[in-house]
Chains A and B, each alone.
Chain A
Amino acid sequence: MKMSTVVRTTTKMVSPFLVTYAAYLMLYGHVSPGGGFQGGVILAVAVILLITSHGYGKVRRRFHFNWASLIESSAGALLVLLGIAGLAFGAFYSNFLPTEGGIILPFNVIVGLEVGAAFTFVFYILLRWVESD
């Protein structure tokens, strides 16, 4: 299922900027509005835009189904490991980094990857029923 040239060109142009914006939201979530979840959703939207304009099959060849699953499960495991790492400093999820915001920054990045991968994953699975090309 492909859309017209206009739509495809526009989404190709917009998508990299969306990914950049998602990265910004994840990295500055602890000092400005935004955060991991919001960044992750926008990350997923970048992929979903490409899927809707270029068709499911083409995007899947570039960004494989297993990649989404891999990023999702490893980010989930990392999130728990971040909490367990805090145990060495006194408590589960204790804030042990001396930087501004401490572990909130890595936390946000991991949550962003988790949410982005999970949303993409869900979209892939739903599209399996809609499209069969």
Chain B
Amino acid sequence: MIPLMAALPLLTAFLVVFLDVLKVKRTAIKGVFLLGALLPVPVVLLNWPGSEVVGGWAREAGIEVALTGTNLPFIAGELVLFIFVALYSLYYFDFRDKKTPKVLALLLLLHAGLMGAFIARDFFNFYIYMEIASVSAFALVAFSDEKGSKRAAFRYLMLSLLASYLFVFAMGIIYMETGYLNVELIGKNTVPGRELNTALALAFTSLLLKAGIFPLHSWLPDAHSSAPTPVSAVLSGAVVKAPAYGMILLLSALPSGETFRAAAMGVAVASIFFGIAGALLQRDAKRLLAYHTISQMGYVLLGVGSLNFTGAAYYAMAHSIFKGGLFLAVGSLGRESRKLGEFGYSNAPVMALSVLALSLAIGGIGPLVGAYGKELLYESLSGPWKLAVPLGSIGTLTSFAKLNHHLKRGEAPGMPAAWKLSSLGLALAALLTGVYLGAGVNPRDVLYLSSALLLFALLKRLGVLGWSPRAGPREIGRDVNVLTAVFVMVTIVMILLQGV
């Protein structure tokens, strides 16, 4: 029954195209779309926990899928986010346009790809489903009417596919060395050697690129900010989580070196602070949120690098919920202009409440869901690594103090009730999940909040926030080349470190 989680959205994606060609009523297409978003939920509830092999084959020959404690948070976060995004999309896209049913079909394909990637316990299957999600994402980014979206989609496509090819090459090496593609069987059959070390480092680095970790992040802000709002929410909330799950699979299957993991954690910490610094300097609201995705993915990688897979999974779930909600809320408010200071929530109390709650959630303030994830990560870290979590919280809160400071003054444009409902729904989901998981109110949170506000006031006084990074039209070919060079260098360094 577990494979149905990927099969049912896939079926509805084909049905949407089918009904569109037959020119049936719009309501039928909308209904099928919502059905596809909702159908994996009963499948999860009926089958948790469990594992099975597709087609009833033996494990050595078949494709294993499972619902375990590690991947359930990923799935839960994705499902909660996607259901609200589906609701939002029905009122966001113009149904008089002939392209809209195709967008819905692509969104369902994205959903199916993510579901399939999260249930996979088999590297090749994981790769295939991650690619389904990625390719749908390229097309969806390019669907945007915004200037520069095609360029962003092209850059995303080139780099992501480059990483995918290296990943599948690494899978080939692993298959050659161990004779299996199943995660657990690989773990039982590893022979320590240079080939497996190289394969692990290669696959891990290519997933780092796909997850948008600094210094391989530069495709991410453009792609995530120029996509249509519901697509941005899914991209930042869920698509970058699939590679993170891949890293968990890799590190649980293959032996990794101490130095290699330390390097991964170092990159994660750099990513956290780089994302915050980048976000503080942004003038565009959606770009600010995209930079925060880089920073938050650093937290997830910190969990993966310290072999705390549960913590990483729960943080990924938390990030899915609050980042998706923030994208939906800020994207709806900034429909006419996304420049900070030109729009806001001063006349929309519901949106104000949602944005404030989600901002506190992303800063890790209890009892919202971010606090639980951060607590789990904090517990398992040792020594100076521990400092990264609270300092990152302060930085994130500072950046969101800036965002809310600008939003407080502006006026909101009119918007459909469904948009408000989606934003509020995700804010409530962040609160309820946090309460359910038992994220308590921590007295330290007051300290974090006050220091963040102080820091924000200080930065504003010094005029740091007035700087803006130069953003001119860049040569796209040169851009891709530079990033490829950086990617190759990081790959080589990681391979050498894994050999140590």
Contacts and interface: CB of A to CB of B under 8 A. Distances in A.
A86 interface: yes
A70 interface: yes
Interface in A43-89: 66, 69-70, 72-74, 76-77, 80-81, 83-84, 86-87
B52 A91 contact: yes
A73 B109 CA distance: 13
B157 interface: no
A80 B14 contact: yes
Contacts of B15: 73, 77
B3 interface: yes
A66 B21 contact: yes
Interface stretch (B4-12, B428-436, B468-476): B4-12
B7 A92 contact: yes
B1 interface: yes
Interface residues of B, number: 19
Interface in B179-233: none
Interface residues of A, number: 20
A83 B7 contact: yes
B122 to A, nearest CB: 14
Interface in B1-49: 1-4, 7, 10-11, 13-15, 17-18, 21-22
A28 interface: no
B55 A94 contact: yes
Given A83-B3, A84-B4, A87-B1, A77 B21 contact: no
B4 A77 contact: no
A72 B13 CA distance: 12
B7 A73 contact: no
Contact of B4 (A69, A73, A76, A92): A92
- Identify the interface centre among B2, B53, B54: most chain A CB within 10 Å of its CB: B54
A76 B14 contact: yes
A116 to B, nearest CB: 16
B384 interface: no
A90 B56 contact: yes
A95 B55 contact: yes
B11 A77 contact: yes
A84 B18 contact: no
Contact of A69 (B3, B7, B21): B21
A123 interface: no
Interface string A109-127: 0000000000000000000
Contacts of B22: 70
A78 to B, nearest CB: 9
A55 B21 CA distance: 24
Contacts of B11: 77, 80-81, 84
Contacts of B17: 69, 72-73, 76
Contact of A70 (B2, B10, B21, B56): B21
Given A77-B14, A81-B11, A92 B3 contact: yes
B18 A74 contact: yes
Contact of B18 (A77, A83, A87, A90): A77
Interface in A90-106: 90-95
Contacts of A83: 3, 7
Contacts of A80: 7, 10-11, 14
B55 A73 contact: no
A132 B22 CA distance: 26
Interface of B: 1-4, 7, 10-11, 13-15, 17-18, 21-22, 52-56
25 contacts: A66-B21, A70-B21, A70-B22, A72-B17, A73-B21, A74-B14, A76-B10, A76-B14, A76-B17, A77-B11, A77-B14, A77-B15, A77-B18, A80-B7, A80-B14, A83-B3, A84-B4, A84-B7, A87-B4, A92-B2, A92-B4, A92-B55, A93-B54, A93-B55, A94-B55
